[in-house]
Amino acid sequence: MASADLLVTNLLQPIVLAFLLGAIAGAVRSELELPESVVKLLSIYLLFSLGIGGGRELAKANLGAILPLLGITLLMTFAIPTLVYFVTRRFGRMDISNAAAIAAHYGSVSTATFFASMSFAAAMGSPAEGFMAAMVALMEFGVIYSLVIARVALGGSRSAGIRAGELFLSVIRGRGILLLLGGMTIGIVATDRQWQQISPFYEGLFRGMLMLFLLEMGITAARQAQVFRQVGAFMTVFGVVMPLLHGIVGVTLAHLAGLGTGGAFVFGAICASASFIDAPAACRASLPDANPGIYLTSSLGVTLPFNLLLGLPIYYEYARWLG
């Protein structure tokens, strides 16, 4: 399939069209919106579904075969926040709090991008390994690392040591980690017969639920995009260039670790994404001086639309070229 055809195929995916519909609704200030409780329920369902499916795949996997993937995941968990912090401090002239908050968002994972990449890989006939959900859970600790960077840079290295446990618990308490790890545990211990009893709910409804979730994400992203002035030209360019860099590096490392086209593509998409659900809560609590108008608009208003509309086909085409 040619690159142009791949782009068109992505744009015509029902999940991407749902995101675009939401973006249009948000841009014209439509009354369309999903209640917050429904959005939370959708997020819980999607994370739990992927966790359970990932657990079943993990139970079948050869642990020795995924050790290289675990290694590159740990590498990217520390490398991405470090690079983002350096770039925003050096070239973006950000203060410590804002640079660390941006690092936390780009060092964490966008579950919407992860969901979309898994669906895209399956639609292209190259489904990714289900245990990729474990890599998402592992990369969530990039938030802790970013907050530690801020505390050390602000002269609070002693305080950082004292509150390390609190930082760890703040991430563990997040619904992303709990649902993914808990779901994977259930998936590992469930028998085939038990899985058949619940699979219609967790497999059959998944893509429909994902469409509703991305519809709401489109609405929210459009509203964030309306405040581009707050992020400025630097962060707008940053929100596109950095995901591209992270995505290409992620795909390359995953390919070297032995993953197939679908797995390498999804890992690249994970690395390219930026959190806008769990990371904002951690930053509001630990970095109150950081400006949400900068880090949230960049991750949700710039990076998410770029990845869903253009980034995914680019990462997939590169993964296919490598393979």
Give the phi and the psi of residue 277 in degrees, each rounded to 5: -120, -60
Closest CA to 143 of 113, 116, 114, 110: 110
From CA 165, how far away is CA 173, in angstroms rounded? Answer: 12
Tens of pLDDT, residue by residue, the chain (323 residues): 566 677 777 777 888 899 999 989 988 888 888 898 998 898 888 888 878 887 887 787 777 778 899 999 999 999 999 999 999 999 999 999 999 999 999 998 888 899 899 989 988 889 888 788 888 888 888 888 888 888 888 775 444 444 556 666 666 666 667 787 888 889 889 888 898 888 888 878 888 998 998 898 888 888 877 666 666 889 999 999 999 999 999 999 999 999 999 999 999 999 999 988 778 777 877 788 888 888 888 998 899 999 999 999 999 999 999 98
From CA 9, how far away is CA 96, in angstroms rounded? Answer: 41
From CA 279, how far away is CA 256, in angstroms rounded? Answer: 29
Q: How many Cβ atoms from other residues are within 10 Å of residue 196's Cβ?
A: 10
pTM metric for this prediction:
0.83
Burial label, 67 (beta-carbon count in 10 A; 0-12, 13-18, 19+): exposed
CATH architecture of 3-15+34-322: Up-down Bundle (1.20)
Q: Three-state SS for 227? A: coil
